[in-house]
Structure 1
Amino acid sequence: MESDQFTKTNPGQAALAALAAYETAPTQEARSALMRRYENLRDTAWLLSGVEGKIAATAMSTDGAVTLVTTDRGRATLFLRSAEGRVRQQQLRLADNVLSPVVSRDGRRIAYLREDDGAVFWHDVTSSGERPVGPAHPLQGSLRDRPSGTGGGMKVSAFSPDARRLVGVSATSRVLMWDLETGLPRTLPNEVDVGEVWFGPDGNTLVTPGSPRSATTSMVAVDIAAGTTRELAGDIDFVGVGVSGDGGVTVVCQKTKTDDPKTSGKANYQAVRVADGRVLRRHAVDASCTRAVIDAKGERFAVHAEDDEWDLVDTRDDSPAQRFLGPSLFSGVDMYAGLPLLGTAREPVMATTQHENAVIGWPMRMTGGTAFSPRSCSATEARWWCAWAKRGTV
């Protein structure tokens, strides 16, 4: 079947091909192919596929509506997902290979680095336009000396809250700030050895897991105007850091070793308010530190507990964490690094790149008293899935 040819490279196209074949000639073979696609996709809330190569890095707006993907072939693809679940897709068709995608919080601007020389470009995005991506705007200066991991999930650049400025980090911890209207950069004071970078809740604050020159690894807030730093949390694991979509809350992890050689120790997470450094919530799991997945306002975050189980923690009170089933980490932490926690408190959704050619919305399901074994696939479910596919979700 034609749909089987696309399963690994473009699962969304595989689903649509199976649907088209079944509607054209509803034979047993066509129905079997449709059922195979259903089995592959039935546990996804939505799917973004059709990228050119294997996904290298992904950036997303805080509401999950705008997604920019770069691949191992240096190609870039933009996805626009409506509230009704419809998806638009545009290949950027750039002349050069690119990496390190960035999407502004509101999704109205995107940016990336040119692989050859680290030159930075940005575009306006108009979701309602016939061509959603505007022309490329080059910025003066470059991030030629890029940190290792730039092509993957490292957050080496970020838009300001109003999307009028862009900050970028070089391998030498040099921090450049561009005014997008003029395209001109300025170099910020180098008080912190910056590795990754986010804007805080306002346009004057950066948040970074840097190493202050006389201290251990810390999460710090940088006052751009004053050139000063303020420690938010010290002695943290670089792997377990993240910032909410609005820049107001950071979640960090401190690793505690144990004497038991059979355990990996304890991961102690803290949700810290960036504005004043107040610890909003603590949560510990018997596991190694991994990056927390944080919602837009920092009201909830999810951390990996064990196997395919995750703890959802509310930062607004001391209510017990809720245990959910979610993606396992067999593909590594980069499959969701930097992507927001979507959905609601009762029905959270993780955006992952667990499939190397697609971004998947993974609906997390609460454990405890609920059956999660896969259901048998009936003809009625197949008809429902056909409607789901037609809607443009895949």
Structure 2
Amino acid sequence: MANSYDVIVLGLGAMGASASYQLAIRGASVLGLDRFHPPHEQGSTHGDTRITRLACGEGSQYTPFAERSHEIWKSLEEKTGLALLRQNGILIVAGAGKIAPSHGVPKFLEATVASAKAWAIDHEILEAREIARRFPAFDVSDGDRAYHDRLGGYLRPEACIGAQLEEARALGAELRMNEKVLSVRQEAGAVVVTTATGTYRAAQLIVAAGPWLPRFLAPALARQFGVTRQVLYWFRARSPAEHAAFSPERFPVFIWQPSGADGVFYGFPAVGPFEEGVKIATEGHDVADPETVDRTVSPREIEAMFGTFGRFFPGLSPDCVKAKVCLYTEVNAARFVLDRLPGQDRIIVASPCSGHGFKHSGGVGDALAQMAMGEKQVVLGAGRHVVDMTQFAFRPDDPPWKA
């Protein structure tokens, strides 16, 4: 039948691109749809870099996704010659006094250590003096402690998405960009997707629509998802010499719960020249609509960001060379949802975001492909980890999401 597929993937960002690629590897007939032309800057997967880490303070259940993702990124690098993954280390820093929770976890450092121990990930605990000695760009205080491992690092999200889409297309996937989906419905034996330009049918549908996801859900489920506005900042170093202290060889990616600060922040090494600055960010809580969100960053926001967190890096100047807005799609307790839509068994919903999704996206795409192809279990990676997917199921009785 014309316009009929094994699987349709709605949304071709981090999760949709990966699912399309993994389905194409399996020989499925795939249609990918996106209202924009990914990789793009309208959703959640842009901004040059994203943190990756195998020891997950949000819960040890996420490690198989990150581990499988690393396998996929390395395989793609071999196929394409692109630089996608840099494992220059991860530093999880916590102050000695009152600290804000990270992704709802008050003691994020301790939770990260527990995850590392559960998966036998080699790591160190560093005291303030040792942090300062190894990583002099950080201005730590007495009493600060850090988790450090060498498996964490950063990803290049736009390149990861682009590589997977190109590989999926080369394997036969049909990708239709700039095509807005108007409706989806399940009927006997199929799912029907109607867009602004056509109607398509498939045995299975994966909805990976990011911040647009709630629009495809009934109100009782949609209220469990919240969309928030996030801002990314790039501040220039005070001099080219000080910029060198932020190089990947000398400066790991980090997540920092500073003592006495009303928030957590994170950041990356300098991945470009002096003129391109150093990227840091915190987590915002302003509820947003992807259609109307303010994508400009005001001077007041820049001043507040540097005033609150720039002080932890004496080598940075307040000169913000770039700032971008992206979106989180969140669930209470920073959970993922990877499940069939209740009452509609041919529609799989993928919302593994909650502010820590990109690092897992390769593995999530593998899991989604297995679900769509009717596998009885989801098994990830060379370690053959059997994943308990009930941990990522819809919980229809959960209370509404709240910031």
TM (norm. structure 2) is: 0.28
Query: Between Structure 1 and Structure 2, which shows a larger proportion of helix residues?
Result: 2
Query: Between Structure 1 and Structure 2, which shows a larger proportion of strand residues?
Result: 1
For CA contacts below 8 A with separation 6 or more, give which structure has more relative contact order.
2
